[in-house]
Amino acid sequence: MPKAETAALVVKRVLPFPAEALFRAFSDPAVMNRWFFAGPGWTADASNDFRIGGAYAIRMRSEKGDVYTQQGIYREIVPGRKLAFTWNSEGVKDSLVTVTFASVKGGTEITLIHEFLTADKRKSHEEGWNGCLDNLALAGSRGLLP
């Protein structure tokens, strides 16, 4: 799918650590709890069923005690190389996060792509919308419209 067709965010970072260790930071709840939260003073409580089709949830708790939960399903797991999972949170449903880990000079380049209009979602939207148009046409053909 051409990039211009999706609303996506790309964040890249080169870190001087091996890909395996960084992959583990994204997949082992014990490590995720130490960085995967919204900011200073927050805590995270991650749990996962780390297999394709398995679910994960990260409960982030603010300093004031407010809890926000991010959750989704693993779509792709290539140990040490790639991870893709759906991302659902307050206000964002069925977005997709793809993280790749590439060995480069000086460490590992992490590329994170967060797509807010996934192919699945677009399809369900278009089907829903075409359904509406079909119903409208049907209503029109039966003389139900003014």
Partner 1 sequence: MVDNKSAALDAVLVALADPTRRAILKSLARKERTVSEIAEPHKMTLAGISKHLMVLERAKLVVKRREGRIQHCRLDPKPLRSVAALLLEYKVFWESRFDALERLMRETHPKGNPDA
- Footprint on this chain of partner 1 (rule: CB under 8 A): 4-7, 9, 11, 13, 15-19, 21-22, 25, 31, 34-39, 90-93, 103, 106-108, 110, 112, 114, 116-117, 121-122, 125-126, 129, 133
Least distance in angstroms from the C-beta of 31 to partner 1? 8
Least distance in angstroms from the C-beta of 114 to partner 1? 6
| Closer of 47 and 103 to partner 1 (Cβ) | 103
Is residue 57 a contact partner of residue 71, using CB atoms and an 8 Å limit?
A: yes
Is residue 81 a contact partner of residue 19, using CB atoms and an 8 Å limit?
A: yes
d(CA 36, CA 24) in angstroms, rounded, equals 12
| Closer of 4 and 64 to partner 1 (Cβ) | 4
Question: How many CB atoms neighbour CB 27 within 10 A?
Answer: 20
Residues 6+ apart with CB under 8 A from 67: 59, 60, 61
Structural tokens at position 121? 């979602």
Least distance in angstroms from the C-beta of 61 to partner 1? 15
| Closer of 53 and 115 to partner 1 (Cβ) | 115
